[in-house]
A and B are shown apart, each in its own frame.
Chain A
Amino acid sequence: MKSSFRRATVAVAGGVLASATALAADVTFKDPIGDDNGPGNYVYPTDGVYTPGSFDLVELDVKDGGNVGFEVTVNDALRDPWGMGVGFAVQMVFIFIDTKEGGHTVGLAGTNIAFAEDAGWEKVVILSPQPASRVQAEIRTKGGDVAGDIVVPRRTTGAGRTISAKVKKNELGEGDPATWGYQVVMQSNEGFPDKSDLLTRKVNEYEGQHRFGGGNDADCDPHVMDILAGKGEGADSEKQAQYDMLAYECGPEGGAVKMATLTMVRK
């Protein structure tokens, strides 16, 4: 009996270690703290669930193993006030990946961003607390021409300050993930989005109980609270680089004269 128990214990421990050691070749990007204000003046909604730092991107870890693991860390402990059941609730993260030449230069519905010509993305991974089938249903409706390049992990969870997910490498493309370009867009999980928005929370001129503030009531402003910038090392100078990328200009009719245009960060 005792030896059976011992063998089982060793087997479980071995499995745990095996699954852990399968991970290798990490790449890490850092982002300065305190730049969770979009182009420089965005503010959080006023409801108490949006605690300071919730959308302040701190780090992206990409781990290449049998699957590719993504870990996004924010500057506050994750909480689940809406009972999503996966360890976090208010955040939603888009990880745009540039795996090769070319790619899409449009953002996703509801983000009001574009990508520079030399920073097109091939795949975007969505880390959402919503059930994967809900996200997929939204993508089918609102994903537009890029729907086929949106990847939803089979399981996304949060613990501590970190949101984690893994996707099959063949869903992302060929090559070494450590050499790819990345851009992380911090958004908020909106369970009841506008009909044209992909589960994203709006930014308006005035913040509301569940709306970000500091932007424009029209859809000419980037609905983004934080992104990677510069070399992705977390330097203070990267704040300004972020503000520059997210700078926008609205026309008198509410259209974008200048759209926020993002670049990729790579090692």
Chain B
Amino acid sequence: MVNRNRMLAAAVAATLGTLPMHAGAAEPGEIKWFGSVYAKFLDGNRNINNALYNNAETTPGEAGGDQGQGIEFELMFNAQVSKQVEIGGRIKARFNQNFWANFGGFGPQEEDERSAQYMKLRGAWARITPGYEWIDSATIGSNDWGMFDAFTQGKFRYIDRDNSSGILLQGSALGRDLRWDLARVSLSRLFQGPAYNTGELFANDAAWIGQVTYSPSPDWNFTGIYEWINDDEVDPADNNVFDGTDTVARYDNKIFGLKGQYSGLGFMDIRAAYYGSDFTIADDVCGTGLGDCRYSPTPKKDTDGEAYTLNLEFNNLGIDGLTVAAQYFHIGADYVSVTAARRESDVLLTEGQEGTWQQGRPEFNCFYRDLLDTSGDPVCGNRDSEAYNGSLGWGGWNGEVQQVVAAGLADNDFTDFDEPVAHTVVGWKGFTIVPKYRIGNWEFAAEYSNVDFDTNWQACGLVDANGNPDKDAGCIYPLMEGTNSWGLGGAYRSPYSLYQDRSMEIYAIRADYFLDIANGVDLSFRYKYIKDEDKRVTTQEGLVDAYDGYGGSVNQDWIPNPALGGCLECDDRSADYNTYGISAGYQIHPDLYLKLIYELNTVDLIDGTIDVAPIGLGRGGSWINYLTGEHEKNRVGLNFSYFLSGVEFGGTFDWFWGEYRPEFYTNDGESFVRLVPAEGVTVIPTALANIPIDKVKYDQYRMKVFMKVSF
């Protein structure tokens, strides 16, 4: 993870001019070239060679890979053209499917940029420092916008962090106590708008953002931010081209933010941030049917929301080595920032959930589902199915999740299992407390988080003429995969469910000990418990609306139970996650560091009775697994890092094994009871599949090794 971050940061650093200049050594106008060679080696027992990335890519057929070798060449440049002008950029031949097995780019599709070895301009910029009083610099071209923040214009990338471009003006006043940034950022037509596009007229769609930071003393600072994101389309009512063509807004997104820090108390820092958002969308862009704009990063209709955080960091409590950090957070369900950070940022103090359960689905029950694709193959659990290929396997991601506020835009494309996974936390509200204590060679840390949800509602808060919940009355929130609170970790993109009444608690402790023998052994122990509960439908009227018979869209062996027979608790979801971890790291040689890891992850999940089907999801349930029961996942990992002058090697080897023991519950006279299969019964019909009652054993092996040479 760390190594990958460094590689990504290199691209940013080079492209954005952060790599230092030999201004004294280089002649004006001399161009400096530098770069890297990066090789990746993948192996695993899934034996999928879709790509040299093993993520949960959203483009079918381009991810889930655990095989092959590839090498990238990257060339960066910059030049001090004059005292007032500096330029830089990056070209690169990157891999997606550029396997060595392609024999030098001559794969089956030589013209396909994914498998050929084409060099491509990845980013270019010019930075002008005119020396005027009123402006420090103007940067034109590629930028990752790291000077703004994760709630407004987040640090941004898609494949690379220089994908985004725009114009950035920066200045200062009052002896640089006051600094300002003003930018126009072009919107990506690939995803930065309703239904993941910016319409047919896209070239001038942009975000305008300005911020002013005032730091008059070390004790306090204050920042104000305003952003306007605008997507225009040709006005269909303007048929007279003689005076040009008018435009109308497809959507507007305005965000303002105020944030500040006060450190004058000595023993405690106070940081607070407030953001308000306003989102308007043209009526004809999205309907309000459940299937309309189902895959979208924005609400379907106008809305406004807010998000705020308050952090208290106690750094001097009178006990040497003891610190306590606390955060209160509220990320409103209707907070919308289309340009918020999508990954590589973390807006919350909590560790959050474990990456191993994000997309780490069993992918087994679809073998038994009477649901076939056009080729006659089962849709899930089949090697050819998108659900299987489009994930990174049962192991999931290593480590913890990163929490972002980009609703529907949390993005994990082009990543590997050893990188952090991003997860949207729109709708989360609650608090976190993290004490840390260091004494001698020990370091202790703990966490308690209590999370409520602003997305707790019945039928999205909609009611019919009689005042009863009505999921078909025009829910404005996109459901996407619809697995937000259904799977173990759920989908990472959509934070919305039609019916939700959820709460979550996180408890975590960690102890690190430096065993002072020989080169020293880094020992680490950790335990985490997460209690995640969702009562979903909470009224009888809601049951009638939510569980309305599922006409023609589910397993034909399953007998729907409309309104769940009045059993309110029958759709409740309860998940208890446990993580136990121990690791030992050792500098075995001055150049080589090894770390051995063992983790045990368990989940005890009750996800409603067998009478329940995902509300309003219909056939989209092909992505969903039946998961009720006990899950156990063991991991032994071996990480290494090896440095020589100018070259770095790193690697992760993971072995997973464990099992899933399905359990079943049913509605017995309006009560929620355990279902014990009768003698001779081998499968239980559910809405998702006919589920075999036997436990299922899993194992997965995966390896990633890389080499990076910088020159």
Contact = CB atoms under 8 A, between A and B. Distances in A.
Interface of A: 16, 18-20, 22-23, 33-34, 36, 43, 46-49, 51-53, 56, 66-67, 75-77, 81-85, 131-134, 136-138, 140-141, 154-155, 157, 159-161, 164, 166, 190-194, 197, 201-202, 204-211, 217-220, 253-255
A21 to B, nearest CB: 8
Given A132-B593, A141-B645, A211-B17, 10 more contacts: A34-B217, A36-B218, A51-B261, A76-B263, A82-B5, A141-B646, A154-B519, A154-B520, A192-B13, A255-B24
B441 A133 contact: no
Nearest to B442: A16
Q: Which 6 A-B pairs have the closest CB atoms?
A: A19-B440, A210-B18, A160-B323, A218-B24, A217-B23, A254-B24
Nearest to B223: A48
Contact of B181 (A46, A131, A160, A217): A46
Contact of B176 (A43, A51, A67, A134): A43
A37 B439 CA distance: 32
A135 to B, nearest CB: 9
A46 B179 contact: yes
Contact of B148 (A48, A56, A75): A48
A164 B18 contact: no
Contacts of A136: 590-591, 643
B555 interface: no
A19 B591 contact: no
B2 A83 contact: yes
Contact of A83 (B5, B325, B445): B5
A219 to B, nearest CB: 5
Contact of A210 (B13, B323, B512, B516): B13
B442 A206 contact: no
A191 B19 CA distance: 10
Given A23-B440, A209-B16, A255-B24, A133 B147 contact: no
A202 B80 CA distance: 15
A39 B213 CA distance: 23
A161 B710 CA distance: 32
B443 A157 contact: yes
B218 A133 contact: no
A190 B263 CA distance: 27
Main secondary structure of the interface of B (DSSP, over half): mixed
Nearest to A69: B440
A161 B155 CA distance: 25
Contacts of B23: 204, 217-218, 254
Nearest to A19: B440
7 contacts: A16-B442, A52-B218, A56-B218, A159-B445, A192-B19, A194-B20, A201-B20
Contacts of A84: 2
A206 B128 CA distance: 10
A68 B78 CA distance: 43
A192 B147 contact: no
B96 to A, nearest CB: 23
A137 to B, nearest CB: 4
Interface of B: 1-2, 5-6, 9-10, 13-14, 16-24, 80, 83, 127, 129, 136-137, 146-149, 155, 170, 172, 176, 179, 181, 215, 217-218, 221, 261, 263, 269, 313, 315, 321, 323, 325, 345, 420, 436, 438-443, 445, 512, 514, 516, 519-520, 522, 587, 590-593, 641-646, 648, 710
Contact of B136 (A33, A157, A192, A206): A206
A140 B591 CA distance: 11
Contacts of B269: 76-77
Given A48-B146, A137-B645, A193 B20 contact: yes
Given A132-B587, A159-B323, A164-B438, A194 B1 contact: no
B147 A48 contact: yes
Given A53-B263, A133-B591, A159-B443, A208 B323 contact: no
B16 A210 contact: yes
B592 A191 contact: no
Given A48-B146, A159-B443, A133 B643 contact: yes
Given A85-B2, A132-B587, A159-B323, A46 B641 contact: no
Contacts of A164: 438
A212 B196 CA distance: 38
Contacts of B20: 190, 193-194, 197, 201-202, 211
Contacts of A218: 23-24
Given A53-B263, A132-B587, A194 B440 contact: no
Nearest to B314: A160
Contacts of B520: 154-155
A207 B170 CA distance: 10
